[in-house]
Structure 1
Amino acid sequence: MATSSSSSAARCRQRVVLLRQPNREVEYEPPMRYCYHRMVASRWTAWTDGNPGRRFYGCPYYYQDGGCGFFAWHDNKFDERANTVIKELLDDIDKLYDENCLLRRVEHGHRLGEEVDSIQSDLRKLRRRHELYDRELRKAEKKFKVAMSLLFVTWVWLCVVYLKM
């Protein structure tokens, strides 16, 4: 159970991480920037503590060992207050994702509980039906035994009558 909840929390946490992954823009408004490979530089979004949400230009291969090393900021440096607000908003997003994941697990638990109740109700119905069929089977077995006994007695009687003739 702990493994299930921790993996669920990990899935929810991945969504927050995806939000903060570098956002790569290949098409942006001119002037176009070119890296040292003479390729159009991608515009990325940084999510570091010092530059949350600040955009920069980098080689298209920036996240493959730094590419050619080209780097230039697109946005001016945010002031300290803007950085603080962005970090607080990101923390709020983290909390909302965590709360949402918890609520989804609770809702899933309620749905499972309702499903268990439904299955238990079906099981009770099936047990009652089984008891009914079991009683009918016993009655049929008794009738069969009586019929077989009568058949045997009739057969013996016919044999005796035939042998006396």
Structure 2
Amino acid sequence: MSKRAYSSTSTSINSRGAVLCWHKKPCVVNTSGTEANPGRQFYGCPFWMDEKKNCHFFRWVQMNVDEDKHHDSEIGCSTLNIEESLRLAECKAERRKKEKKLLAEELSRWMKAHEIMLAEGRRVNHEIHVIRALLIVIVVMNLILVILMLHHVIIW
């Protein structure tokens, strides 16, 4: 799990008014697709696609000035970062639970298919042994018939 450092000061903003991530790079604006915050926009690290470079910066885009004032206070900013991180972690945990359930179901299907294949293989093996035994019986019967026919020819 990656470690994240939180500043006790408000989020950095460059001279052009852009929100900066922990790398001091201008953030990209993304849109949430979670059930808890559908369609809500947030700032994120511009390297979010690269797990090694991603600093996991996260901040909601504010809708009005009053919310910005609240976020710019030192306590408000750090508290919201923790709350947002917690909400994000809970969302990830829920997604992992769903993925785990789907993988468990898929594993169960594969195991059942494997068992069916093993049972089918055992049935085929049994049938092969029965056929071999029947062939041996047929060959022996044919040999007996040949011997009887030869014996009958010799006697006449």
Report the TM-score, using the length of structure 1 for normalisation.
Answer: 0.47
Structure of higher CA gyration radius: 1
Q: Higher helix share goes to which structure?
A: 1
Report the TM-score, using the length of structure 2 for normalisation.
Answer: 0.49
